[in-house]
Amino acid sequence: MKFGTKVIHAGVQPDPSTGAIMTPIFQTSTYVQQSPGKNQGFEYSRTHNPTRAVLEKNLAALENGSVGLSFASGMAAIDAILKLLKPGDEVISTNDLYGGTYRIFTKIFANYGIRFHFVNMQDMAEVRSHLTKNTKLIWAETPTNPMMNIVDIEALAAISKEHGVLLGVDNTFATPFLQNPLDKGADLVMHSVTKYLAGHSDVIMGAIVVKDADLAEKLAFIQNSCGAVPGPQDCFLVLRGIKTLHLRMERHSQNGKTIAAYLKNHPKVEKVYWPGFEDHPNHAIAKKQMRDFGGMISFTLKDNRLSDAIQVLENFKVFVLAESLGGVESLCGHPATMTHASIPREEREKVGLSDSLIRLSVGIEDAEDLKNDLARALESIQ
């Protein structure tokens, strides 16, 4: 199947009991058994639920994997991945990382004897220099949040295979429409399904997709044992949202290109971070491993004043100031005080995350209205 067909049909069948074309919401905690251990494939909804099972098959197909696993949030999915490790193990991660991921690494799992190295993953020599016999996981985001850096997945995969290390990729920003890390050699791909996959700002969910059966079995054991699973209503909403993923991502990418170009030419804007620009660091890698460049954009203001950034954010009318991203509506945020506040300022500034940096999740509205909104907000700076 081509992608536009997969989002609608992969893993999805009419309900056999009624013929319903939409997957029903199986709002049940348990299932009647004919005899102890003799059932229709379902025993208890923490372990398996029919609505969730359809979604997980659909997610696996979108990422060209064999097994999909859904979780109560993106952080719950990352939590499950880290539970593959044990005290003394080491993780190499990008130094430009979502604040929630940085927090769970440094404030939760570091307390259990797991060591984390945060490196510039645009430099493979830097990655190699931190490899030890205890390295068990390489963790990447691409594009990164919020600096939009591009990491070469194939190059990381070559390193991970050479050293017998798992490679995990957070594919939230790109979605399986724009890139497929498993096809590039990653061992597992993670999504905050909350964002583009659900797409309508009405669900919290995470997911992991893998190809290897043994890895899938280990993660499924953690999923069931620890119990951070989504409910059937949320699974239904995500299945519905995914059906338009390809159409939404085309418009997100189209609007992203328009808004990035507008910002780059604005006199009050210092720098624009968007991987579609030819002068963007690792643009060539982005062009090779992505099908388009998406609707996530970050930019800084001239003179880098926090007060100016707040002024802009308070004067948006169409862009909405809120946590999260990836919905049909355009969102704006201030990473230094919102999504990345858990990262120390000195660490943020090392990667360019300055006080005036604003992150945009460009929605699917009319691009002219979005440009006019930006013009109005930027004009408010004195």
Give the pLDDT confidence of 51-76 residue by residue, as tens digits: 999 999 999 999 999 999 999 999 99
**pLDDT value for 340:** 83
As a whole number, mean pLDDT of residues 9-26 equals 96
Our answer to whether residue 268 is catalytic in this structure is: no
**pLDDT value for 181:** 98
Q: In what order do the strands lie in the sheet with 115-119?
A: 67-71, 206-210, 188-192, 166-170, 135-141, 90-94, 115-119
Helices (H) and strands (E) in the chain, counts: 14, 12
**pLDDT value for 350:** 79
What is residue 150's DSSP assignment? -
**pLDDT value for 351:** 80
Name the more confident of 287 and 99.
287
Say which of 170, 187, 234, 355 is annotated catalytic: 170
Which residue from 370, 352, 364 is spatially nearest to 145, judged by alpha carbons?
Answer: 352
As a whole number, mean pLDDT of residues 71-87 equals 98
Paired residues of 38 in beta bridges? 35
**pLDDT value for 342:** 76
At 189, the pLDDT band (50, 70, 90 cuts) reads very high
**pLDDT value for 160:** 98
**pLDDT value for 343:** 79
Q: Give the burial string for 227-249 (b: 16+ CB within 10 Å, else e).
A: ebbbbbebbbbbbebbbbbbebb
Our answer to whether residue 98 is catalytic in this structure is: yes
255-311 pLDDT, tens digit each: 999 999 999 999 999 999 999 999 999 999 999 999 999 999 999 999 999 999 999
At 162, the pLDDT band (50, 70, 90 cuts) reads very high
**pLDDT value for 49:** 98
305-359 pLDDT, tens digit each: 999 999 999 999 999 999 999 999 999 999 988 878 777 877 887 788 889 999 9
Say which of 46, 83, 240, 376 is annotated catalytic: 46
As a whole number, mean pLDDT of residues 221-248 equals 98
As a whole number, mean pLDDT of residues 41-55 equals 97
Q: CB-based contacts of 143: which residues, under 8 Å, 6+ apart? A: 149, 150, 173, 174, 275, 286, 294, 296
**pLDDT value for 241:** 98
**pLDDT value for 253:** 98
**pLDDT value for 64:** 98
Our answer to whether residue 279 is catalytic in this structure is: no
Say which of 6, 98, 257, 355 is annotated catalytic: 98
CA distance 328 to 41: 36
As a whole number, mean pLDDT of residues 142-159 equals 97
pLDDT reading at 107 higher than 90: yes
Our answer to whether residue 46 is catalytic in this structure is: yes
pLDDT reading at 151 higher than 80: yes
**pLDDT value for 92:** 98
As a whole number, mean pLDDT of residues 220-224 equals 98
Mean pLDDT score of the chain: 96
**pLDDT value for 345:** 79
Question: Which residue's structure tokens are 């593959």?
Answer: 84
Question: Which residue's structure tokens are 């639920």?
Answer: 49
Say which of 6, 52, 195, 348 is annotated catalytic: 195
- At residue 169, what are phi and psi to the nearest 5 degrees? -125, 125
At 228, the pLDDT band (50, 70, 90 cuts) reads very high
In the chain, DSSP assigns E strands to: 67-71, 90-94, 115-119, 135-141, 166-170, 188-192, 206-210, 269-273, 296-301, 320-321, 331-333, 358-361
Which residue from 289, 4, 63, 66 is spatially nearest to 182, judged by alpha carbons?
Answer: 63
